[in-house]
A and B are shown apart, each in its own frame.
Chain A
Amino acid sequence: MGEIKERLISIVGADAVSAEPEELWFYARDPGVLEAHFPDFVVAPRTTEEVQKIVQLANEYKIPLVPMGNGMALTGLVIPLRGGIVLDMKRMNRILEVNEKGRYVVVEGGTSQGVLKAYLDDHYPHLRHSLPDAPPTTTIAANVALHGQGRLTQQYGFNSDMVTGLEVVLPTGEICLIGSPSLGPYWFSKGPALPDLSGLFLGWLGTTGIITKVGLRLYPNKRIRDVEIFVTDRPELIPDILFDLTHLEMLEDITVWFQPKPLMFLGNYHITVFFTGDTEEEVTWKKRMIWDTLETYMKTKDGGFMNVDPMKSQLIQMPQRGVAEFADVPRGGGFEYSGPIVPIEHYPKYAAKVLELAEKYDVLYASAARLISGGHAMMFSISFAFNRNDAGMMKRVKEALEEATNFALEMGGIPWKPNFVEQKMILKQMHPETKKLLMAVKKLLDPNGIMNPGNWEEN
């Protein structure tokens, strides 16, 4: 191990390699409920070339490599299940290019969501990216590597759909450009009209390479954002309401949430509708369209709009700091969620399942679903908060989440950012030929099995 450490230091410098107990303890875990596994080293590269040399070294010694952003997936995707090297990518954080007219940005993979947002606000206030409601420390590469979502997902799809090119260090050490940057200096397409090779890396949870640069679409940043919340106590109506709303084809973001605390929210389902405009007239018109669309439900007294004024500033905040606050509801510093991608018509069944699981496992719940691509699917989050000092509660949350994932698979849903146990459940259910293809691709790209081992493995 001493030799490996010396060679790592020769690549990145002594201040970018640690085998100290403190770093090993910290980088062995994430904020979720999964057990820790200690790495042998934590390394923080600053350049693609450094990453390349680390990968070559890892191949030489057959030592695992686990790329990490901020480690906030909560599902243990950066826990080094078989030890090895955790690569903290956050020092690779430069914003390299903004193509204003082409509306895309090129960043290093470790760039944080918050820094990109602030940069665009400062220099290109008329442009924005699809900011997740995860904490602003989360990184661009990690987000697309797990098919993350953001504020523009309802309009434009998963954040990984917004990728316009990649630079990847392959598990065998080659530096590979994906999409239009492989042909010239422009980062406007991740694939089309070529075969879309980005699919070899997006969604693979760091098992097929290390994303070192990302091109990302930017979108118009309208001057005004506004929000309405429609409330109903009949979850069975939600698919119809969402269908009606998405027919408008003009809404920024739609989320559906329910939670028992504070008590004013108990028993109701809240549909938050975000919309934007460049003029007051445009926003007022959109607001009227939303109200007109849902008038039927108001007439039948099945729902109504709540007064959002007292919480408007919190709702239109980006990212929403309140999301992280859920972790402190049981005064215990943690929450974790299962977030399957599901058909919208299944919303009532998932909502019922949340309540059933919360009661069965005696855990505090919250759920927030987000529409994807104009309503073709939704991410349905089943979130449970826990007290980190209560091992029993953490165990119950873990079991509840496993049952939630089983339920999602039974219902034909796709677990989002699944942990290594859930990945095995997915593989078990997957069509055998699909699974065979997936495993063959993985083996082809990573013949030594060094990339984030333990993930996307059957056994």
Chain B
Amino acid sequence: MNYVKEIEHADIVHRCFRCGYCKFPSDYVDFNCPAYQSFQWDTFAPGGRMWLTRAWLLGEIKSSARFAQIMFSCATCDNCKEQCVFPRFKDYLPDIFQEVRAQLVEEGVVPPLVRDYFKALSLSGNPYRRPQEERGDWAKGSIKIETFNGQEYLFYIGCVGSFDEVGQRLARSVARVLTGAGVSIGILGPEETCDGNDVKAMGEMGLFQALVEENVRKFEKRGVKKIITLDPHAYNAFKKDYPRQKGFFEVYHYVEILARLLKENKLKLGEWPKKITYHDPCYLGRHNGIYEAPRFILKNIGKSEIVEMRRSGVNAFCCGGGGGNFFTDILGSHEYSPARVRIREARATGAQVVATACPLCTKMLLEAARAEGYEDMEILGLTEIIERATFSREKQ
């Protein structure tokens, strides 16, 4: 086949049958592709993207604003990879979409907000355009946490935890719970650098490479051996991409540490009589197979009732914040946007609280709950629930 463009996996793109299994969860209850759910054109579903990729490789469609919108609307949730019916081929679906985005970045044909994201990151080191010296400000005040100087773990926060007010709230909560449980952690504060997970997802490979090198250099210089991340996106990059760049560290998401402490009876949780549902973040769940640890933590909250959403675990519906969409908002906040669909699903369980383990998901669902008018519903990080349970016990 005479392709006029190249991507690494061009030789298998034609194998997509566009049968549409990739749009669904395993029991077909609703569409599970966030981009398709939001736009509802077949072109935005994985099969549509794959067929358009072939057309683009053949030169039958151009690198256009619409093509870029379609490609960058992918939330990298990995549902298609789970559900595609073709063995082995399916493992490369997200890679193919990422390779197309990388090529579009090379060509400079990206949605304006993607361009702005890269620009902000290049200039300020974060997508919020905030000065680097403010990166550790989240830890100022009542939090007692030291700069990393040989503690057992580096507590890595990431851009959202460092600068977003919801992310900061979660970072402080996780830090309090970890230190309260006696976990030895230190932070990099103003020296922390973006992990680059979403930079890679959006295809800016040069910038990603630079971020990886900078982080590896800093971690090694400080003697970091073990890392606890706040953000599943950072966890994913450190775990899967950094070793390819000789960044070998023991990487944990905080839910893994807390679940371990609970199992070892080194952490006791109090009671909080609430009905709670847990939203699986894609980069913790489908990308890294961590489903049980957060649920184990919640089950240890006394008097709580844990209910599952209709789509959970490997079938969980993405909040729409992955793949850079948290920053670029290509998927929007309209009635059919993934976060609003997801929060309605959470509401249908009758839960008073939605628990999450990702600062991006927390923010996405919080805003969706506001848009839906669910003012009585709380969207909380797991450690915030732990703190409420502990506080409630102490009060008694």
A258–B184 alpha-carbon span in the complex (Å): 64
Centre residue among B18, B24, B60 by max chain A CB count within 10 A: B18
Interface string of B13-48 (1 = CB under 8 A from A): 011111111011001111000000001111100001
Closest partner residue, chain A, to B67 (CB atom): A22
Min CB gap B55→A, angstroms: 5
Interface residue stretch chosen among A330-338, A351-359, A442-450:
A330-338
Q: Which of B39-79 contact A (CB under 8 A)?
A: 39-43, 48, 51-52, 54-55, 60-62, 64, 66-67, 70
Given known contacts A22-B66, A26-B42, A114 and B17 CB-to-CB distance under 8 angstroms: no
The 8 Å CB contact of B19, one of A25, A137, A387, A389, is: A137
The 8 Å CB contact of B24, one of A88, A136, A322, is: A136
Q: Is the beta-carbon distance between B14 and A332 smaller than 8 angstroms?
A: yes
Q: Which of B119-156 contact A (CB under 8 A)?
A: none
A135–B16 alpha-carbon span in the complex (Å): 14
Contacts of A22 in B (CB 8 A): 43, 52, 61, 64, 66-67, 70
Check: B177 CB closer than 8 A to any chain A CB.
no
Q: Is the beta-carbon distance between A26 and B23 smaller than 8 angstroms?
A: no
A18–B48 alpha-carbon span in the complex (Å): 15
A90–B28 alpha-carbon span in the complex (Å): 15
Check: B267 CB closer than 8 A to any chain A CB.
no
Q: Is the beta-carbon distance between B21 and A115 smaller than 8 angstroms?
A: no
Closest partner residue, chain A, to B25 (CB atom): A118
Check: B391 CB closer than 8 A to any chain A CB.
no
A366–B18 alpha-carbon span in the complex (Å): 20
Q: Which of A100-152 contact B (CB under 8 A)?
A: 112-115, 117-119, 121-122, 135-138
Size of the chain A interface, CB-CB below 8 angstroms: 45
Given known contacts A22-B61, A27-B42, A115-B30, A325 and B23 CB-to-CB distance under 8 angstroms: no
Size of the chain B interface, CB-CB below 8 angstroms: 37
Check: B86 CB closer than 8 A to any chain A CB.
yes
A319–B69 alpha-carbon span in the complex (Å): 33
Contacts of B67 in A (CB 8 A): 22
A137–B17 alpha-carbon span in the complex (Å): 13
Contacts of A31 in B (CB 8 A): 17-19
Contacts of A348 in B (CB 8 A): none
Q: Is the beta-carbon distance between B86 and A328 smaller than 8 angstroms?
A: yes
Contacts of B52 in A (CB 8 A): 22, 25-26
The 8 Å CB contact of B43, one of A26, A113, A118, A328, is: A26
Check: A23 CB closer than 8 A to any chain B CB.
yes
Check: A35 CB closer than 8 A to any chain B CB.
no
Contacts of B51 in A (CB 8 A): 26
Q: Which of B284-314 contact A (CB under 8 A)?
A: 310
Check: B89 CB closer than 8 A to any chain A CB.
yes
Q: Is the beta-carbon distance between A114 and B64 smaller than 8 angstroms?
A: no
A18–B64 alpha-carbon span in the complex (Å): 15
The 8 Å CB contact of A137, one of B1, B14, B20, B55, is: B20
Chain A residues with a Cβ under 8 A of chain B? 15, 18, 20-23, 25-27, 31, 42, 44, 70-72, 88, 90-91, 112-115, 117-119, 121-122, 135-138, 321-322, 324-325, 327-328, 331-335, 387-389
- Across the A-B interface, the 5 shortest Cβ-Cβ residue pairs: A114-B28, A137-B20, A118-B29, A327-B17, A333-B15
Q: Could you list 23 A-B pairs, sorted by A, with CB under 8 Å?
A: A22-B67, A25-B55, A26-B48, A26-B51, A31-B19, A71-B42, A91-B40, A113-B28, A114-B28, A118-B28, A122-B29, A135-B21, A321-B21, A321-B85, A324-B17, A327-B86, A328-B17, A331-B15, A333-B16, A333-B17, A335-B17, A387-B14, A389-B14
